[in-house]
Amino acid sequence: MAQTLTLPPGDKFRLPKFDPRYDQGLKKANVEADTRGHVDALADLTHRLYAENHRAVLLVLQGIDTSGKDGTIRAVTHGINPQCCQVTSFKQPSIEELDHDFLWRVHRAVPSRGNVGIFNRSHYEDVVVVRVRKLAPEEEWKSRYDKINNFERVLVDSGTRIVKIFLHISKDEQRERLQARLADPTKRWKFSKNDLEERKLWDEYQQAFEDALTRCNTEWAPWHVVPADRKWYRNLTVARLLREALEEMNPRFPDPEPGLDNVVVE
């Protein structure tokens, strides 16, 4: 039975109903060519978007630790001209950022026209981590859902297409990935003892993500829940969703200036 990626605005997201190992019954070896096809198409579509210089695309990647945000970015952006693609990672806010409203640092990173922006984490940290870690009063973080919706509406009305993706992994898969980091000397730098403390809050994070997905699932910026236990299926699905968004936008090369037909360069 096919598994949906999103729900109509107003419906409650319940993550246990989304199987993080769902893969449509496909096999890894059989989808690699399809993934390459999507990635190649993205290179062409983003080139046209850059030439058009009229609209932008924002890819928002959220997910619990080890869900694969970095790996997804590497897989999807392969072949895209770095000149028209910017990746922003939202870590712990700096002192300067904390001296402004919570959306200040986010708005500064929004892609300019002609560009694709990718958020590795995003403004949703301010209704997830802030909530779970009790970094702000409940009244404050609860007020942020509407502010986020209004902010995203402004971006969309200004010509930015938003593709929001929640990378959904299981608790067992997270354990395996954390253990793999410890076992691999080239990945151990990514492991922190704090990861174990965060893992203890798994249920709290799942609830916070469910509420963010539900409260900020709008017609202009819907959420997609992508099964991410299988990395190859995750990459295939994210590449396809981004390609579909750009194809719907159908960016076009600008018309050349008139009078070029008979120009000869000597």
The span from the CA of 11 to the CA of 61, in Å, is 21
The torsion region of residue 109 among left (phi > 0), alpha (psi -120 to 50) and beta comes to alpha
Which fold does the domain 32-249 belong to in CATH? Rossmann fold (3.40.50)
CB-based burial label for 38 (10 Å; 0-12, 13-18, 19+): buried
Torsional sign, CA 124, 126, 127, 130: positive
133 to 32, 123, 191: CA distances (angstroms): 39, 16, 20
- What distance in Å separates the CA atoms of residue 202 and residue 48, rounded to the nearest whole number? 42
- Res 79: pLDDT: 86
User: Torsion angle of alpha carbons 105, 70, 78, 241, nearest 10°?
Assistant: -80
- Tokens read off for 126: 């301010």
Give the up-direction half-sphere exposure of residue 237: CA atoms within 13 A in the CB hemisphere: 28
If one counts every other C-beta atom within 10 angstroms of the C-beta of residue 257, the result is 7
Write the DSSP symbol of residue 219.
S
Convert the pLDDT of each residue in 167-207 to its tens digit: 999 999 999 999 999 999 999 999 999 999 999 999 999 99
Give the pLDDT band (50/70/90) at residue 2. confident
Q: Tell me the mean pLDDT in the region 247-251.
A: 98
First to last CA, the chain: 64
pLDDT at 19 (0 to 100): 97
In this model, does residue 260 exceed pLDDT 80? yes
- pLDDT given at position 186: 94
Q: At residue 154, does pLDDT exceed 90?
A: yes
What is the SS3 assignment for 1?
Answer: coil
> For residues 155 and 58, is the Cβ–Cβ distance under 8 A?
yes
* Residues in CB range of 147: below 8 A, 6 or more apart: 103
Tens-digit pLDDT profile for residues 98-120 = 999 999 999 999 999 999 999 99
